[in-house]
Chain A
Amino acid sequence: MNYNVNEKGYYGDFGGAYIPEMLYPNVEELRQNYISVMQEPEFQEEFKELLKEYVGRPTPLYYAKRFSEKYGTKVYLKREDLCHTGAHKVNNTIGQILMAKRLGKNRIIAETGAGQHGVATATVCALMGLECIVYMGAIDIKRQAPNVARMKMLGATVISAESGSKTLKDATNEAIRDWINNPTNTHYIIGSVVGPHPYPDMVARFQSVISEEVKKQLLEKEGRENPDYVVACVGGGSNAAGLFYHYLDKPEVGIIAVEAAGKGIHSGESAATSALGKEGIIHGSKTLLMQTDDGQITEPYSISAGLDYPGVGPMHAHLFRSGRGEFISVTDADAMQAGLDLCKLEGIIPAIESSHALAIFEDRKFKKDDVIVVNLSGRGDKDLNTYIEYFDLA
């Protein structure tokens, strides 16, 4: 079976481009050009140079000895938390800003939930001297004040999304509306493997540097390119897509996607899309999404602002439906504890998103000599307030 996108923009039953005609010229321009632009040697050179000198790649593949001992298996952490701006998000924004320049765009828009993608977009816009407008839900602006300040310091304009539930999905709606209203000079940098084709594939390709590096690094450390399992958290799913990418067609590598169960899958406050979602259309893509029986999109919940997206990228929906991926959901409580455990065991403060991936080891048992790569997608600095409140650390 094929786990990558096909020529029509689908991963199995999922994907496509369900967009209003107003967006057609923009999305079509991107679809026709993205592969050829990405394959230009000058593009590749500039992309790799920036990833190396600006982002700080390759990020280490770190053998987490004490963590491994605790769970009786071999765990490597892919240290995306050490990227400039503190998470993997910047891999994609570097790629897309170069794409935008090749397409002659001088105005950049983005959506953001927790603010990580917004910061990563504002960063590359500052780097390239391009105008940057970030849409962020009114509720998130209140919850994530430090990232709002960061974006402003980097020269971005942050616009509050006041529609609907005033969170990530509404910020995405507003960014799409902006694009409709500014069809010629603007590029929309989507932050995850979501949205209309070709976005899921383009973002996955930019993030695929993660597994490209893991292959080389694991060969050095273990004498083989393929681990037994790759594990990553999934909101929209960009860090997971990056880690899974070069292993999609390697059946010997188990793929584990970890979703946020929030306060419990059936608590009514959850973001476990694979368990709770049904096939539908969100932000231009056919995928699994959380919705009412009447097809209205519902608001997910997770303590982690990067995982509370009501859908999941079409690649992940396909991995789920085809059975290629094992989907596990982790509650707020288990994720928070796993995050704190990593601090104490390894001296690394993880983002709460990444803590979800770390939390599976309590219940999901592995063999002693299994080699498992967990994507440590971001660092926990941005989550300090949540950690402080949750564990009463003040």
Chain B
Amino acid sequence: MNRINKKLQEDKKLLSIYFTAGYPKLEDTVPVLEELVKAGVDMIEIGLPFSDPLADGPTIQESSTAALKNGMTTAKLFDQIKDIRKTVTIPLIVMGYFNPMLQYGVEKFCKECSEIGIDGLIMPDLPLAEYEAHYKATFEKYDLKMVFLITPQTSDERIKQIDAASDGFIYMVSSASTTGKTSGFSTVQTDYFERIAALNLKNPQIVGFGIKDRETFKAATKTAKGAIIGSAFIKTLTENGIEGISSFVKSINYLGASPEDIR
């Protein structure tokens, strides 16, 4: 069974962390990954940097620009993490934009991900229709779970289509925004979380965008299976380096949360 599906069966709320590969320094990819695992996160999204990340706010844009300047490429990333499965057992997802994958070759990209032990892909600008028409067979051949996004504006009908096309989890974007907006959650978000929960989808949902601390993590996972922290993690990485990872993860404190917080 794919590691993502297995992880989703665990009876707990999941914390997933996004970070940009090759940031702050080119060779930090593996040390960051290992430190995150040590700190006890459940899942990791490895960000493959892109020159024009449309869905991202300034924090991830800047980390991407820095990583590219450091020399990060698709080939470099695959080389850095080629032995990652010797030390890391949690689900690993590569998150990036579609153009670098297209240039690398979709089949070659999938094949190498599979050889490394990557479990899934998040490509925000590879939409459902194109995926199903052209790429689904290749992703499935290499047992890579494609994770789709939904937003508060996504219609119930489309959510059901996305649910039907998914086999893993659905990435539930918390609000109409790019990544890294930190205004916190209002009733708009909580109503949306509850609306989605009421749809009883076959795939669990993991919330992303705007999750930055224990409070937002708790709010997001009240109904959802887990939450993803990206920009807030990149910020802490920029300010405190790899040494700061463990205390950041602890500050989310989900492991020590009381049962009513996490169930």
Residues on A lying within 8 angstroms of B by beta carbon are 16-22, 24-25, 163-164, 169-170, 173, 176-177, 180-184, 278-284, 291, 293-298
Contacts and interface: CB of A to CB of B under 8 A. Distances in A.
B154 interface: yes
Given A18-B125, A19-B125, A21-B151, A295 B103 contact: yes
B101 interface: yes
Interface of B: 50-55, 57-58, 61, 65, 68, 73-75, 97-104, 124-127, 130, 148-151, 153-155, 158, 173, 176-178, 181
Contacts of A294: 73-75, 100, 103-104
B98 A18 contact: yes
B104 A295 contact: yes
Nearest to B100: A295
Given A181-B178, A291-B103, A21 B154 contact: yes
A16 B130 contact: yes
Q: Most B CB atoms within 10 A — which of A22, A173, A181? A: A22
A77 to B, nearest CB: 36
B158 A297 contact: no
Contact of A19 (B65, B127, B148): B127
Contacts of B100: 294-296
A47 to B, nearest CB: 29
A170 B74 CA distance: 22
Contacts of B148: 21
Nearest to A183: B176
A63 B14 CA distance: 71
A233 B47 CA distance: 38
A297 B75 CA distance: 17
A169 B173 contact: no
Contacts of A283: 52, 54
A287 to B, nearest CB: 11
B52 to A, nearest CB: 5
Q: Most A CB atoms within 10 A — which of B51, B55, B173? A: B51
Contacts of B58: 163
A278 B103 CA distance: 9
Given A177-B178, A183-B176, A295-B103, A21 B52 contact: no
B54 A281 contact: no
14 contacts: A20-B54, A20-B55, A21-B151, A164-B65, A169-B52, A173-B53, A183-B153, A183-B176, A284-B125, A291-B99, A294-B73, A294-B100, A295-B99, A295-B100
A222 B176 CA distance: 55
Contact of B102 (A180, A181, A280, A284): A280
B interface SS class: loop
A293 B149 contact: no
A180 B74 contact: no
B55 A22 contact: yes
Given A181-B176, A297-B52, A18 B130 contact: yes
B158 to A, nearest CB: 7
Contact of A177 (B57, B65, B124): B57
A220 B70 CA distance: 62
A22 B178 CA distance: 9
A280 B149 CA distance: 22
Contacts of A20: 54-55, 124-125, 149
A296 B177 contact: no
Contacts of A182: 176
Nearest to A279: B102
Nearest to B53: A173
B54 to A, nearest CB: 5
Contacts of B178: 22, 177, 180-181
A281 B102 contact: yes
A393 to B, nearest CB: 37
Contact of A21 (B50, B68, B103, B150): B150
A182 to B, nearest CB: 7
Contacts of B51: 164, 296-298
A227 B52 CA distance: 41
A281 B55 contact: no
A169 B100 CA distance: 17
Contact of B99 (A16, A163, A181, A280): A280
B135 to A, nearest CB: 12
Contacts of A19: 54, 125, 127
| A-B complex: 5 closest residue pairs judged by Cβ atoms | A295-B103, A295-B100, A21-B149, A296-B51, A20-B124
A279 B103 CA distance: 8
Q: Most A CB atoms within 10 A — which of B73, B98, B150, B153? A: B153
A289 B158 CA distance: 31
B103 A293 contact: yes
Nearest to B50: A296
A282 B99 contact: yes
A296 B104 CA distance: 11
Given A25-B155, A183-B153, A284-B125, 4 more contacts: A22-B176, A176-B54, A177-B55, A278-B103
A25 B99 contact: no
A282 B99 CA distance: 8
A227 to B, nearest CB: 38
Q: Most A CB atoms within 10 A — which of B75, B103, B148? A: B103
B125 A296 contact: no
Given A24-B158, A280-B103, A291-B99, A180 B176 contact: yes
A181 B174 CA distance: 12
A21 B99 contact: no
B127 A17 contact: yes
B176 A295 contact: no
B99 A297 contact: yes
Contacts of B104: 294-295
Contacts of B102: 279-281, 295
B44 to A, nearest CB: 21
A172 to B, nearest CB: 9
